[in-house]
A and B are shown apart, each in its own frame.
Chain A
């Protein structure tokens, strides 16, 4: 029934991979976004500066360029660091034991898998957007809600996860949903660093079958399916939470 010139199975795997990359990046970006939002609102000048630097840089550079920079640059950086650490360790040890032979204590070459590079890059990019969404959401929580938590003896962690977090998420939901849709579509970029996601597979398949329109149309439909399901779920969640705020 569903056949794509023999590519259907590998294409389904690619579609699943796309979803995995998207969901894992989402988790990372929410975590990073929360941390950055809290840092921005903290009283510490250092934390505020780091978070502001992060969001300014990330939001000011195209996703495609960032993806390439982090993938290739990160590879260089890690291997340089590993090389230098090896050298330093060996020199230090030779200083104490002159007969010591050169040994690679850290791997000489680390290959970053495009899977993790993709997740980390997208998570990192969207963390910056999430930070702004969360910052606004935190600011819109009524101060009295936290004051009541304080007055009843909650410590700052309980205040956060019992009161602040559930309340800010209601305010964050529309922005979060929007970011998720953009994030989902941005996963198409991971194909350029060699990950076998559905976009890459469609590219390869259309090259060998000479049916680019068919393959890219299917990719488009799968993305549309993912986003439609997400939109419905978000609408449901927003309606559920609005009952409480009414």
Chain B
């Protein structure tokens, strides 16, 4: 058995008195596309944000390629990373695509894509540009490389954000509701790109409301309810034969 690209063990997260995650386990191997579903407030975005420590887990382990992210206890702030350097290094290998794109608005499209390779990973600028141009070609936005994010539509911005994520050659791509902020007619173009990535064997964790994507593209589905995994399995099994009453209800309301 190979080492999982990402494994999460018994993850807990509380905000003050509010327990958002109550012990989540998750394993992703090379090439897995895992969709994380759940009603709002189920903790699915928090789970994703814990993976790259945008939120600090209260307890539990996260391992990337077998490397444990070391945590320690701080009197005032509770659990904090033992080494910021380690966290920053691991984050640079986990690319995140945000719901509201979060492209750097003061940088052009091309500059957005080369920013992390050049200024975090230390790739020579020329090399980064060549690669970025190829990636922009791939998401169909090469012609817009000198535009600023504010001059693009939502769907275009999200495609640039995906190119930005690909530019760091990530171990795992984290998608946090990538189509939720888009107008309905722009959702398709982003999903097409994501489908493409899944087919070429990218490891992806996708928090989404797109049932069709979860069913057709992912090879594993996780349904969260009140901070716990309520149902999980292969999409073809759990969509046709859900064992949990809540998941049954959830799919019937979304469809």
Chain A interface (Cβ < 8 Å from any Cβ of B):
142, 144-145, 147-155, 158, 162-163, 166-167, 170, 243-246
Contacts and interface: CB of A to CB of B under 8 A. Distances in A.
B116 A170 contact: no
B248 interface: no
A245 B150 contact: yes
Contacts of B92: 152-153
A151 B115 CA distance: 12
A170 B150 CA distance: 14
B84 to A, nearest CB: 7
Interface residues of B, number: 31
B98 A170 contact: no
Contacts of B95: 151-152
B103 A148 contact: yes
Given A152-B92, A154-B120, A155-B84, A246 B151 contact: yes
B84 A152 contact: no
Contacts of A243: 148
Contacts of A155: 84-85, 88
Q: Which residue among B84, B88, B148, B151 has the maximum number of chain A CB atoms within 10 Å of its CB?
A: B88
Contacts of A245: 105, 150
Contact of B120 (A147, A158, A170, A246): A158
B120 A153 contact: yes
B159 to A, nearest CB: 15
Given A154-B120, A162-B119, A148 B104 contact: yes
B91 A153 contact: yes
Interface string B209-229: 000000000000000000000
Given A167-B106, A170-B106, A162 B100 contact: no
B52 interface: yes
B192 interface: no
B102 A147 contact: yes
Contacts of B103: 148
Pick the 6 closest A-B CB pairs, nearest first.
Answer: A153-B92, A144-B102, A148-B102, A152-B116, A153-B91, A151-B96
